[in-house]
Amino acid sequence: MWKDLVGCALILVLVAFGISGVGYAVSYVLEPRQVALDNKVFHQSQSYNDGMARDLDEFRAAYLSATATPESKAAIRASIIHRFAGYDAALLPPDLRSFLIQVRGY
């Protein structure tokens, strides 16, 4: 009787671990796709694009300020190029788009 009870408990434990293992394997396969999709949706969102435009506007104000030295302009330019390296300039307002193209050089 105890042997049957222990055997059933062991089978239940193995089934539970098997189910959780399958769930882990499925999430291991599907999670990278879900993260990539979430990232793509985020980068296409209006709030992301508004934030990028606001950041570029702040960079532009610092770059064009009267107190900006050539060294600080070079540092700001490098920051702009790095921050907006993979960003589509077509998503920006025309004035910021032209500034970004001017700073990038293309």
Residue 26: what pLDDT? Answer: 66
Residue 2: what pLDDT? Answer: 67
Domain residue ranges of the chain, discontinuous segments joined by +: 1-44, 46-104
Residue 86: what pLDDT? Answer: 87
Distance CA 60, CA 53 (A): 10
pLDDT tens, residue order, the chain (106 aa): 667 777 777 787 777 777 776 676 667 776 777 777 777 887 788 888 999 999 999 999 999 887 878 899 999 999 999 999 988 889 999 999 999 999 988 7
Neighbours of 47 (CB within 10 A): 8
Let me know: does 97 contact 56? Beta carbons within 8 Å: no
